[in-house]
Amino acid sequence: MSVNLTLLTVMGALYACGIYLILERSLTRVLLGLMLLANATNLLILATGGYAGLAPFFSKDTDPHAYNDPLPQALILTSIVISFAVTAFMLGIIYRAWVLARQDEIQDDVEDRRVAETPSFDAEDDAVIPVETSEFPLTMLGSDGTDVTDSVTDAAATDSAAKVKAGAKTMLAEDAALEEKPGSANVHPGPEGGVK
């Protein structure tokens, strides 16, 4: 099977330019790159058909090897139609992107950026377990889970207004229990209705 060297060189150049162009951020250049890649591939398919021979119309006296291989050309025809449709659609989408954003560049995904910047700490899953609000351990444990000293326990036994550590400050155990209930006085609704 012999191949046309000029076609091969052109094919290589088209692939090189096409790959360079689709790596650009500008959408028009990406489109041009895709068109070059599609055409380079068409040349590649043409090359697989071998040398240019006679048109494949059957006549009795012709040697079968003199004919051209028609199958690659049928494949190229299909591939041209497909790349035509895709190019038309890409042009439409690029125009729409231009109308919406007034720039010819691929935009970043906002949600993607947001997730990337989110710290690994999750307020709901990872927070220190808040003050225990059941009756028994309340006087035994502080907010950080450590034992409250015996003296405090003794004080709690004598003093009905038990105190617990909540973060940096000390607060009354009853208030701490209240804070756990939604809709309590300590919960200030945010502008969108949630808790800030």
Partner 1 sequence: MSIASFAPLAVVLPILGAALTFLLIRHSHAQRAVSIALLSLTLLLECWLLASVWGGGTEAVNIGGWLPPWGIVLVVDQFSSLMLVVSSAVSLAVLVYATGQGMADGDRDAPVSIFHPTYLILVAGVSNAFLSGDLFNLYVGFEILLTASYVLMTLGGTGPRIRAGVTYVVVSVVSSVLFLIAIAMVYGATGTINMADLAIKLAELDQGTKTLLHVMLLVAFGIKAAVFPLSFWLPDSYPTAPAPVTAVFAGLLTKVGVYAMVRTETLLFPGDSLNSPLMVAALLTMVVGILGALAQSDIKRLLSFTLVSHIGYMVFGLALSSVAGLGAAVYYVAHHITIQTSLFLVTGLIERRGGSSSVDRLAGLAKLSPLLGLLFFVPAMNLAGIPPFSGFLGKLGLMQAGIGLGTPLAYTLVIGGVLTSLLTLLAVARVWNRAFWRKPEDAEHPDPVLLSEPKDSATGQRAGKANVTLLPRTMVGSTLGLVVLGVALTVFAGPLFALANQSAAVMLDRSAYIQSVLGENVPVPELALGGGGK
SS3 helix, strand, coil % of the chain, rounded to 5?
Answer: 55, 10, 35
In angstroms, the CA 73 to CA 55 distance is 11
Q: Toward partner 1, which CB reaches closer, 134 or 193?
A: 193
Q: Toward partner 1, which CB reaches closer, 91 or 172?
A: 91
Q: Which residues bind partner 1 (CB under 8 A)?
A: 22, 27, 30, 34, 37-38, 41, 44-45, 47-48, 71-72, 75, 78-79, 82, 85-86, 89-90, 93-94, 96-97, 100-101, 106-107, 109-112, 115, 118, 123-125, 182-183, 187, 190, 192-195
Minimum gap (Å) between residue 38 Cβ and partner 1: 6
Q: Is 163 helix (H, G, I), strand (E, B) or coil?
A: strand
| 118, 65 contact by CB (below 8 A) | no
Minimum gap (Å) between residue 52 Cβ and partner 1: 16
The angle, 0 to 180 degrees and rounded to 10, between the axes of the packed helices 27-48 and 5-22 is 150
Q: Toward partner 1, which CB reaches closer, 94 or 155?
A: 94
